[in-house]
Amino acid sequence: MTASDLSSLRIETPRLILRPPRMEDFDAWAAFLEDEEATRYIGGRQPRATAWRTFMCMCGSWHMTGIAMFSVIEKATGQWIGRLGPWRPEGWPSEEVGWGIARAHWGKGYASEGAAAAMNYAFDVLGWTSVIHCIDEGNLASQGVAKRLGSSYLRRVTMPAPFEHTPVDAWGQTREQWRARSGQLAQS
């Protein structure tokens, strides 16, 4: 993917804009990663300097591989409210669509809405044949998002270092399962 492709990449849902991260997103990104509760199940709190490296890793992944998590922008306010999307770093158990929403925006259905758009992108644009969601066994809210997406528990997975000792479950589905479910939703 070229830089111009990245700058024009934009997915819209009824309430959200998904796009590759921009420098203007960093302050909100860093605040999100400093929130101990919001990051409890995604590797833990990161001070601003570490959040910078995480942010740059995500930006670099977009440029080097053409995939990474999108910045999630709330249409009504223009605010950065989280990051979600396709993700497959070295050593990851499989192709993932993951999510992390800033705590002030929990309970609004944004993770489900944005992840559904990211699932379409993963299957229709990236050509993935299956998707997992790596979810800590105690993260009931993310398990609920996975269920709303039509994903089911698949297996326990091992994450790459430094998280190899953290119990993580893979939830997921195939492209065919996603398309069958999407068709059912369109008919109802």
DSSP 8-class letter at 77: T
Q: Per-residue confidence of the chain (188 residues) as pLDDT tens digits?
A: 566 688 899 999 999 999 999 999 999 999 999 999 999 998 899 999 999 999 999 999 999 999 999 999 999 999 999 999 999 999 999 999 999 999 999 999 999 999 999 999 999 999 999 999 999 999 999 999 999 999 999 999 999 998 898 889 999 999 999 999 876 554 43
Sketch out the chain's domains with CATH numbers: 3-187 (3.40.630.30)
What pTM value is reported for the model?
Answer: 0.92
Looking at residue 182, what is its pLDDT?
A: 73
Looking at residue 152, what is its pLDDT?
A: 98
Q: Report d(CA 112, CA 101) in Å as an integer.
A: 10
CB–CB of 180/137 below 8 Å? no
Phi, psi at residue 43, to the nearest 5°?
105, -10
Q: Report d(CA 55, CA 33) in Å as an integer.
A: 10
Q: Which residues pair with 72 in a beta bridge?
A: 18, 82
